[in-house]
Amino acid sequence: MPKISESSEFTIPLKNLLALIGATAVSVYAYFGIEGRLSFIEHEQSMLTIEVEENDNWIDEWKPPASVEENIKRVRDMELQMKELQLKLQFLLVTRK
């Protein structure tokens, strides 16, 4: 069995060496491309999460203007009055028979 030392030599065809260097270069380029894309997507996701939380806080803290609240109360009162009138009308129709 041959012994390996500092003076040991081996040969590799130039075509194979260039192919190894090219494959390494392509692999490194692809790795950093994927890494950059993942970093971009993670950053974009964190920015969207922050925006969603801000919107959620705005929705939770939002109060309608006083005029809108007043109109809602009026509509609710009108609904109750209509229901009351419907019940009275039904009562009158039933007692009339």
Query: What's the average model confidence in pLDDT over 64-87?
Result: 95
Residue 89 tokens, joined: 């009308």
d(CA 53, CA 60): 10
pLDDT band at 62 (very low <50, low <70, confident <90, very high): confident
- The angle at the Cα of 25, spanning 5 to 17, to the nearest 5 degrees, equals 40
pLDDT band at 76 (very low <50, low <70, confident <90, very high): very high
- Residue 97, pLDDT above cutoff 80: no
16 residue type, one letter: N
76-94 b/e (C-beta count within 10 Å ≥ 16 → b): eeeeeeeeeeeeeeeeeee
Spacing of C-alpha 51 from chain mean position: 10
Query: What's the average model confidence in pLDDT over 67-88?
Result: 96
Q: Using one digit for the tens of pLDDT, what is the confidence trace for 3-56?
A: 888 888 888 999 999 999 999 999 999 999 999 999 999 999 999 999 999 999
Q: What is the pTM of this model?
A: 0.52
Spacing of C-alpha 92 from chain mean position: 58
> What's the pLDDT score for residue 4?
83
> What's the pLDDT score for residue 96?
82
